[in-house]
Amino acid sequence: MLRRFKKYYQSLNNQREIKWKQKLGNDLNWLLSFDHIREKDSTKHIHRLHPYKGKFIPQLVEYFLDCHTDNLKKQSFFKKGDIVLDPFSGSGTTLIQANELGIHAIGTDISKFNCAITESKLLDYDFDLLFSEVNNLKKEIQNFETKHNIKQFEKKLSSELVEFNKKYFPSPQFKRDVYTKKINENAFGKEKEAEFLKIYNLLIEKYKIKLKQEKNDNFLDKWYIKNTRDEIDFAFSQLKTIQDKKTKKILAIILSRTIRSCRATTHSDLATLKEPQLTAYYCFKHKKICKPLFSIKYWFSRYANDTIARLLEFSKIKTDSHWATISADSRTVDIFKEIEKQSSKFSDVLQKQKIRGIFSSPPYVGQIDYHEQHAYAYNLFGFERKDELEIGPLYKGQGIVARENYAEGVARVLTNARRFMIDNFDIFLVANDKWGLYTRIAKKAGMKIVHQYKRPVLNRTERDKNPYSEIIFHLKRNQ
Ligand SMILES: C[S@@+](CC[C@H](N)C(=O)[O-])C[C@H]1O[C@@H](n2cnc3c(N)ncnc32)[C@H](O)[C@@H]1O
């Protein structure tokens, strides 16, 4: 039975490979699709410590950092003890995979918060202390919630919601009626939402719940229900009193992940916020009445447990190779100087060996604003933002000037990195070269593209299932 299922699955995959090659060309390297990798493995251990838009899958990094077989040839660009650089290190995927393989790694990124995410994944923790601080904070948040009537209010609201949804949105019948168009979802949803809002408003009044914050000056003021915001500020003030620096850092990341999930928005708009949602509403995603969040308690507790489990899992395979994150503009950063400031041991290794190569994914032209995607965290922690130094951000668009600046920016990053690398370096850049810029980028940096790996990108969003590929450019010094 299992063999028959495997065979069937294999034939489906073969069909997909044939279809994709027809659309994207026979040079598609199917090995790099990682179609056999389960989500559980592509988000293994600390790779899912904090959301981050635009990270690559760890198996891709592993393929290039580790010894692999390509066209029946064994290839290995990096070996244990080498130093790899990621000048666009984002959430740290390269550094983590390098560490697993015993390769030293340096990551530079313009976004301070991205460096904080990376650091929190790689630090060594005192787990007993972490457990105890997490439990303290959980207790404090719970007390705060009880003191502010939220617990009682949420209990009542939830029971009213369950009754109401059972009556008007029975599952799975309601969904069936929507799909067979027996019910007009828009009209019915709106009518029942108005009906439930009467109950909701009565409860808000009874429990004296304040929904809107007084100020509307920044992200935290706008996107949180008043009590949630108060709890966030309270939890942060408690966190600041923790003495141990590393524990404090990882708790800040847990809190950040928590508050990202507690923004006052509808479930359908989580990815692209539209308007703050301060009342109960008809939810098109879950096909029933849903409510915004009034407390961070649930998510904090869930993420704290999840984070500890992931860190423990990683701690079992973590090597003692050196790593460092530097928050700086990769066009100008002096890596030797920065590492010297952070660790004399790593600095000695670096001066002696220099950097062996790069594995990195630069931003794509005009697709993501990397600071803005974590606006809530910048707001809470007060980190300095350097949006204007981002290469190719969304807010600068994809016009001719934006593309030119992008090419210039990436070329400058490569030129700067050369100062710290061995002569016979290998650079791998994962890019969507929609605008055909990379040949020019390589030339500008005094390099040449020696190979291109065309990789199918599977598991894209529901809405966008068209065959799509990205290129991993292999660059070397131009003699
Ligand atoms: C595609 S993401 C890298 C994601 C990473 N590979 C991962 O798996 O998490 C590109 C990164 O480049 C960073 N970046 C943009 N401009 C930069 C600059 N001038 N110097 C350093 N980093 C920059 C962004 O902050 C962003 O984190």
Report the alpha-carbon distance of residue 272 to residue 370 in Å, rounded: 14
Where residue 73 falls among pLDDT bands split at 50, 70, 90?
confident
Mean pLDDT of 333-356: 98
Between CA 299 and CA 254 the distance in angstroms is: 9
Ligand 1 within 6 A of CB of 90: yes
Determine which residue's CA is closest to atom 8 belonging to ligand 1.
Answer: 55
Nearest atom (ligand 1) to Cα of 391: 16
Residue owning the nearest CA to atom 12 of ligand 1: 88
Ligand 1 center to 278 CA (angstroms):
34
Whole-angstrom distance, CA of residue 288 vs CA of residue 233 = 31
Residue that has been written with the tokens 């939890």 in this structure: 235
Tell me, using a 6 A CB cutoff, whether residue 396 lines ligand 1: no
Q: How many CA atoms lie within 13 A of 134 on its CB side?
A: 26
User: pLDDT value at position 466?
Assistant: 76
Using a 6 Å cutoff on CB, does residue 52 contact ligand 1?
yes
Ordered by where they begin, the domains of the chain are 26-111+320-477 (3.40.50.150), 127-310 (no CATH)
C-alpha 125/C-alpha 256 separation (Å) is 19
Residue type at 352? K
Model confidence pLDDT, tens digit, residues 75-127: 889 999 999 999 999 999 999 999 999 999 999 999 999 999 999 999 999 99
Residue 8: its pLDDT value, please? 66
In the block, tokens 């990815």 appear at 271
Per DSSP, what are the bridge partners of residue 74? 69
Beta carbons of 318 and 99 less than 8 angstroms apart: yes
pLDDT at 204: 95
Q: Is the peptide bond before 58 cis (omega within 30 degrees of 0)?
A: no
Q: Is the CB of 441 under 6 A from ligand 1?
A: no
How do residues 401-449 score in pLDDT, each as one tens digit?
999 999 999 999 999 999 999 999 999 999 989 999 999 999 999 999 9
CB of 265 closer than 6 angstroms to any ligand 1 atom: no
Q: What is the mean pLDDT of the chain?
A: 93
- Pocket of ligand 1 contains residue 370 by CB under 6 Å: yes
Residue 461: the pLDDT is 56
pLDDT of residue 2: 63
pLDDT top residue among 11 and 106: 106
pLDDT digits (tens, 9 = 90+) for 138-187: 999 999 998 888 989 999 999 999 999 999 999 999 999 999 999 999 99
Is the CB of residue 477 less than 8 Å from the CB of residue 446? yes
Pairing assessment for the beta strands 421-431 and 355-360 based on DSSP bridges: parallel
Q: What is the pLDDT of residues 298-336, one digit of tens each?
A: 999 999 999 999 999 999 999 999 999 999 999 999 999
Distance 137 CA to ligand 1 centre (A): 32
- The reply to whether ligand 1 has any atom less than 6 angstroms from the CB of 110 is yes
Q: What is the arithmetic mean of pLDDT over 450-472?
A: 80
Residue of the nearest CA to atom 22 in ligand 1?
109
Q: Whose CA is nearest to atom 27 of ligand 1?
A: 90
pTM: 0.92
Give the residue from 434, 439, 441 showing the smallest Cα distance to 413: 441
Tokens of 373: 């995607």
